Amino acid sequence: MFTVGLTGGIGSGKSTVADCFAALGVPVIDTDVIARDLTAPARGTPPDARPAGGAWLLPTCRLYNHGLPLAGGLGAAPGGAVLEEIRAVFGEAVMQADGTLDRAALRRRVFSDSAARRQLEAILHPRIRQVVGDRLAMLTAPYALVVIPLLVQRQDHPQGAGRGCKADKSATTTHRPKGERLAAYPSRVETGGYRDMLNRVLVVDCPEDVQIARVMARSGLEQDEIQAILAAQAGRAERLAVADDIIVNTATPEALRAEVAALHQRYLALAAAPPP
């Protein structure tokens, strides 16, 4: 199936963009929701659950499931599948008394420790990838969108590199022919092994001050907390380097919907074209 990977920094507008695609009937698979399901103690997603911009460990505000059923279908991964493994590796310090994952404690544990983060990713990524593959195999739509907030990460340089990319202050979509991505950044790494299952990568981009303002309004996190998350995520330039298509999400929601509608037509055409 023709598959588009959607990524972007926290607060860039990934979920909003994904909602726009979903409104056009495009199946959306969200790897953050899968991660959350996989680390839940029982089948299903806890009710608190839309991940905040690429971090399923962050406090969340609403379920991002497009009305799909929580059990089965595209909505849910098997609950609790990796909880015991996380407990075995990270210990009781990341568990709550009721046997659920203490996401805040795990977040603190992996936030500044890249070895621990890699351990966690080694537990999660293969399972998430498997669920994504299984769900894609069930679909009959012309194409699907897979939301992968952390498609691009820094390897061992959590602070600083790749920041400060400038973007126009308008909603624009840029397309780059295949094979013409920007040169790789040394500290950038595509994580999770998703690249092989993606035909296109769509990056949602916006300036950091806009990201911060949006996340503050949405989550109640403080500015310095959001800045720390931004510093730990890939920089904008690093993400843009892997993009086939770019939405600069600085205009109105209406303009964004129009951008997505145009991209939708483009993806339908690409999905219908015979493979090269």
Figure out which of the listed residues 152, 256, 260, 263 binds ligand ADP, where binding follows CB under 6 A.
256
Q: Is 207 in the site for ligand ADP (CB under 6 A)?
A: no
In the block, tokens 């931004």 appear at: 230
Q: Is 218 in the site for ligand ADP (CB under 6 A)?
A: yes
Q: Is 11 in the site for ligand ADP (CB under 6 A)?
A: yes
Figure out which of the listed residues 14, 66, 127, 129 binds ligand ADP, where binding follows CB under 6 A.
14
- Could you tell me the smallest distance in angstroms from the CB atom of residue 242 to ligand ADP? 16
- Could you tell me the smallest distance in angstroms from the CB atom of residue 210 to ligand ADP? 8
Distance CA 27, CA 206 (A): 24
Q: How is residue 95 annotated by DSSP?
A: B
Q: Is 191 in the site for ligand ADP (CB under 6 A)?
A: no
Q: Determine the interface stretch with ligand ADP among 90-98, 110-118, 120-128, 252-260 (rule: CB under 6 A).
A: 252-260
Please answer whether residues 41 and 99 qualify as being in contact, where contact means their C-beta atoms are separated by less than 8 angstroms: yes
Say how far residue 214 (Cα) sits from the centre of its chain.
Answer: 17
Proportion of the chain in helix, strand, coil states, percent, rounded to 5: 40, 15, 45
At 205, give phi and psi (nearest 5°).
-125, 145
Please answer whether residues 41 and 81 qualify as being in contact, where contact means their C-beta atoms are separated by less than 8 angstroms: no
Please answer whether residues 8 and 126 qualify as being in contact, where contact means their C-beta atoms are separated by less than 8 angstroms: no
Q: Is 10 in the site for ligand ADP (CB under 6 A)?
A: yes
Q: Is 31 in the site for ligand ADP (CB under 6 A)?
A: no
Please answer whether residues 10 and 233 qualify as being in contact, where contact means their C-beta atoms are separated by less than 8 angstroms: yes
Q: Is 12 in the site for ligand ADP (CB under 6 A)?
A: yes
Type and span of the H or E element at 5: strand 2-8
- Burial string for 131-141 (b: 16+ CB within 10 Å, else e) reads bbeebbeeeee
Q: Determine the interface stretch with ligand ADP among 13-21, 68-76, 105-113, 117-125 (rule: CB under 6 A).
A: 13-21
Amino acid letter, residue 57: L
Return the number of the residue (13 or 192) whose C-beta is nearest ligand ADP: 13
Site string for ligand ADP, 48-87 (x = CB under 6 A): ----xx----------------------------------
- Could you tell me the smallest distance in angstroms from the CB atom of residue 275 to ligand ADP? 31
- Could you tell me the smallest distance in angstroms from the CB atom of residue 137 to ligand ADP? 26
Return the number of the residue (140 or 170) whose C-beta is nearest ligand ADP: 170
Amino acid letter, residue 21: F
Q: Which residues make up the interface to ligand ADP (CB under 6 A)?
A: 8, 10-16, 52-53, 214, 218, 249, 252-253, 256
